[in-house]
Amino acid sequence: MHTRLKTQLNRSVLLPLTFCLLLAAMPQLQADPLPAGVRHVDILDYPGCLELFNDSTRAVIGHHVGGRVLSYRLGDQEALYLDPAEADWRQPGQKPLVTAGRFDIGPE
């Protein structure tokens, strides 16, 4: 085959084929398994939060409304108050109600 014909075949067949294969692999590339003790959860109306957990402790971290800890539970005892009214945090034109997230110790 002539070099020019090979180049045209590469462009017309191989490049689109490579693109399609990469596109088909995208969900697998994005769906990397989370490490042990980490999973995605929804809390109130906050989708896609990360829950970090072990045998005795559970923490839920949300990236919404500035990012913060939404829940910290040791055994059966919840350490943070998360107001159920926060489920309406997406109201246009209103400042969202923000609870939980403050459990730091030390000077500010």
Question: Which helix (H) or strand (E) element contains residue 29?
Answer: helix 15-30
Backbone Cα Rg of the chain? 24
pLDDT-based confidence at residue 31 (cuts at 50, 70, 90): low
Is 20's pLDDT higher than 50? no
Most confident of 31-35, 36-40, 77-81, 84-88: 36-40
Is 7's pLDDT higher than 80? no
Amino acid at 10: N
Distance between CA 87 and CA 41 in Å, rounded?
Answer: 15
Q: Say what the pTM is.
A: 0.61
